[in-house]
Amino acid sequence: MPIEEDPEGYEIAALDGLVSFASRRVLEIGCGDGRMTRRYARSARSVIAIDPDGEAIAELARELPTVDARAIAVDELLLPAQSVDLVLFAWSL
Amino acid sequence: MVDALRRAHEIVTPGGLVVDLHPTTAVASVEVGAHSTGRVDGGDAPLRHAAAGAALATVLDAGLFAVDRAVEFTFYTYGDTIEELRDYIEENWRNSRIDETVVRRTRDALRDAPGTRPRVREQVRITKLHPIALADG
């Protein structure tokens, strides 16, 4: 078995206890390879996921083609004001 | 960090949410079962995690957000062997390592707990923030 992160699901359980992703336009900052993204993407209305790591973003884009995955840093992000419902900083501050 | 939070304030709708997850300043530890066998040498990780907390405090003080709720949870990373965990931490965590003393201690603990996978324990805080509209002018 390879390295396993949070197999107990404590992270998504804690997150689900605080927010609902259902029908929300989500921006995830620092998504990495989409470890967290894949846990909520299906319920969100739309997902933009950004990370400066191009390889990780390519992996995420292959696995979740409906996610708008961008290999950029937050200061390169071009989005209109008030255009998403939920901004998620995923271990990225 | 503060700039990223300010950017989030611009992008999110007035009724929207900003959610931050980052490890607390508690040092990550190596465990076999519920027993700690030592700490992960995280280099400047506690300082970086403290800086994330300070960035949140800055935007709260600036009146950009209000905290709705905050919770903590435990995040475990498992390996089949302590060597696998050690290599993973070194390759994937910034400036972090599990030193040989902890590796040896973990190996010994695993010998006494057959079938147990070694793990690294981190404490993570989630903060849910509501944006506050800025006054015009």
Q: Which residues contact A62 (CB under 8 A, 6 or more apart)?
A: none
Show the tokens assigned to A72: 């950029």
Q: Is residue A3 domain-resident? A: no
Residue A4 included in any domain? no
Residues A89, B21: C-beta atoms closer than 8 Å = yes
Confidence label for B136 from pLDDT (cuts 50, 70 and 90): low
Instruction: Give the CATH number of the domain where residue A32 resides.
Output: 3.40.50.150
Q: Is residue A39 part of a domain?
A: yes
Q: In chain B, what are the domain boundaries?
A: 2-131
pLDDT (tens digit per residue) in A2-33? 899 999 999 989 999 999 999 999 999 999 98
The pLDDT value recorded for residue B42 is: 84
Query: Which residues in chain B are contacts of A27 at CB distance < 8 A?
Result: 8, 11-12
Is the Cβ pair A81, B10 closer than 8 Å? Answer: yes
| A54 belongs to a structural domain | yes
Cβ distance A85 to B8 less than 8 Å, yes or no, reads no
- In angstroms, the CA B2 to CA A32 distance is 20
A62 is in which domain, residue-wise?
A: 10-89
Span B69-91, pLDDT tens digits: 999 999 999 999 999 999 999 99
Share of chain A above pLDDT 70, in %: 99
State the ipTM, two decimals.
0.93
| A68 found inside a domain | yes
Is residue A23 a part of any domain in this protein?
yes
Question: For chain A, how many structural domains are there in total?
Answer: 1
Q: In whole angstroms, what is the distance from residue A82 CA to residue B80 CA?
A: 45
